Structure 1
């Protein structure tokens, strides 16, 4: 991995690496890391193969160009892993030099929200990306049928195929049958990659292409992390392994039951939402798991920080910090004459953000809160790709330590079945 992409430092009161729980878990994490290296070498875990893929994106580039050239708005229909990764990546489109249509991610079936958006768009100038790995997700099917009816009933049904791309696995599923019936474009969802691990697949990267984001650079950043995995001789040389050890050892030793992810960049706000699903759904099994909490600096210093500092010591913290000094608007030195404004006079907005993030990190550490600091120089496609891969591998390694399957979610199937039974009466 290019060491310039990010660094990781873990701060725990005392020498946590000499604790009994750390020592007890060191062999399991070492074995888990060795297993992951073998899977990388032998191509057994599909997630690890994604950074080397190009053909899937190249095949879809003409479709992305069609969406860019013909539509003012593009609506992404999907929920959970079919949406969260794409939303996290799309926040990069707020950066300068990003061009493309307006993208809307609709992952809810609240009829008011859904109808409000449909009432704002011009159907002739709107495209739809419909994503469901199974092709049976009730929320996505419902959304799709309602959007399909706009063209089937209100407009010329013969132009439907120009407005939709369907991403689903190559099975005989309802979504695929509907797509075939209406001759819609279909891209195959990789059958060996679950939704919450699909951000680096076309699920997360086709919307990125439409938004003008460099999808190839995202994979390049993820690949840099795999280079470090290949070369890692021990857990200490691989940040995701130390992150897994940090989370698990403190969960067992200190009764930590929550993990807070708090980036100090607005463009990583939805990254935290993506992480919540990844962590909770992969590890919340058989009585194990810690609750992921989403926070955003500096906003949540004014809502959650009091609890973090003075409440129960049942949380660990990961802060993602960036270099923001000397960025943003400049406050005039004229205000230095006011004693209460002197602190900010002659400073830039980024100076305040930098001071706040460093102050919060130091205060958490001084208060005895287990804190991990991830520092990046700049947030771009490569850095985001590395962060996405980091947290996916940290999750996989944590599951391995706990002897859990990181890729299933058996408990939620009961709720899905009940919902369908209620609808059937």
Structure 2
């Protein structure tokens, strides 16, 4: 199995599944499901799939990003869920706690913990900071609350230079705020759910500011859509896992820059498939860290987990390990680098899972860059959409969470 630049290895357990009549039958249904998606796309549904083949909007996004990089040292993105996680995933390619490549640092405020927000405000130079509030519906309580705490920090003329809105082109509290204060407002594409919006301005505008080559991100996504078989096969395996009682779907990359990707995946999988008593629970982990916190459970706990590891070749990369004289039992580090240890741990975890007969697949990538990230994002979108087809689920709504939103507003009103 392979995506354009990503190879996949299946454990013996999964390989045996691919030889079964059940797999063949489900794969036929998956192919039919993809054809349905293509027909739906021709009727104007799933515009996020069409967007990856376009480039005209990238010019405008690039111009805005260039201007903001000149105007601000920090851009704070206000938003939660799909309005934040996709952009966080992409930005992680170029910036971290220790490093950034752009002159403007992008920060994401996706929660409403008062302590965190007060700490942010105390650290910012507001005259060198821009704010971008993102909400598809324009009614997200958390984002509105965040924005309403930012507005008083500026005079009216300053607001127009420092605060920007991204929401659907329809009446909403967020758009009303933009109109009342004369704030620049960008249109969230209609018909694109937040968790599927990473290839739209929602994900690409913050990413461009962080120095991401957003054209290459879309090019990577196109590779998957043009060669979808691997994603279809992956969807079949995940659905078979659910049918066989593997109720948890573990994603464990051995790359720090994929940390936020695992959270993006978690929302995509849970919110798209957790309906009608169906779906599997996504669990995000990070190698090697979670070898020291989760691996015991994975190996010796309930046999209810389907595993995906994402690995890359870092052999002889990173800093060389220097062994002090006179220290015993460190000979295994001789002539080794930090990357060599990472390779050994990747291999050891994969082999241990396979030896325990855990259903495991391994994605191997030569290098993590914008194009490969685009492939990974689209692969998981397509795998999720096809899994929904196989489960007879609508992947694009989330009806169960509406009750909580209504109750939140009721409690705030004191009723």
Please report the TM-score for the alignment, with normalisation by the length of structure 2: 0.95
1:117 and 1:8 map into 2 onto residues whose CA distance is 41
How many angstroms does 1:2 deviate by? 9.6
Question: Judging changes above 3 Å, is the alpha-carbon distance between structure 1 residues 226 and 258 closer, same or farther for their aligned structure 2 residues?
Answer: same
- 1:239 maps to which residue? 230
1:172 and 1:41 map into 2 onto residues whose CA distance is 28
1:9 and 1:50 map into 2 onto residues whose CA distance is 30
Question: Judging changes above 3 Å, is the alpha-carbon distance between structure 1 residues 6 and 286 closer, same or farther for their aligned structure 2 residues?
Answer: same
- 1:377 maps to which residue? 366
The alignment partner of 1:94 has SS state of coil
- 1:350 maps to which residue? 339
- 2:73 maps to which residue? 72
- 2:351 maps to which residue? 362
2:331 and 2:188 map into 1 onto residues whose CA distance is 56
1:350 and 1:386 map into 2 onto residues whose CA distance is 24
1:280 and 1:28 map into 2 onto residues whose CA distance is 22
- Does the 8 Å CA contact 1:98/1:213 hold for their aligned counterparts? no
Q: 256-265 or 67-76: which moved more?
A: 67-76
- Does the 8 Å CA contact 2:3/2:230 hold for their aligned counterparts? no
CA RMSD in angstroms comes to 1.9
How many angstroms does 1:338 deviate by? 4.7
How many angstroms does 1:43 deviate by? 5.9
How many angstroms does 1:64 deviate by? 1.4
How many angstroms does 1:23 deviate by? 4.2
The alignment partner of 2:399 has SS state of coil
**Structure 2, gaps ≥5 residues long:** none
How many angstroms does 1:39 deviate by? 4.6
The alignment partner of 1:351 has SS state of helix
2:3 and 2:81 map into 1 onto residues whose CA distance is 31
Residue 112 (structure 1) aligned with residue 115 (structure 2): yes
2:287 and 2:109 map into 1 onto residues whose CA distance is 26
How many angstroms does 1:94 deviate by? 2.9
How many angstroms does 1:339 deviate by? 4.7
- 1:421 maps to which residue? 410
> Which residue, 119, 124, 132 being the options, matches 1:121?
124
How many angstroms does 1:40 deviate by? 5.5
1:62 and 1:159 map into 2 onto residues whose CA distance is 21
Question: What pairs with 1:273-288 in structure 2 (closer than 5 Å)?
Answer: 273-288=263-278
**Structure 1, gaps ≥5 residues long:** 230-237
Question: What pairs with 1:254-273 in structure 2 (closer than 5 Å)?
Answer: 255-273=245-263
Alignment: residue pair count: 411
Residue 9 (structure 1) aligned with residue 31 (structure 2): no
> Cα deviations across residues 360-397 of structure 1 (Å, max 9, x unaligned)?
11110111000011110000000001100000000000
> Cα deviations across residues 175-215 of structure 1 (Å, max 9, x unaligned)?
01110111111110011110000111110110011111111
The alignment partner of 1:327 has SS state of coil
Question: What pairs with 1:25-424 in structure 2 (closer than 5 Å)?
Answer: 25-39=26-40, 44-94=45-95, 98-151=101-154, 156-229=155-228, 238-253=229-244, 255-332=245-322, 338-424=327-413
- Does the 8 Å CA contact 2:388/2:394 hold for their aligned counterparts? yes
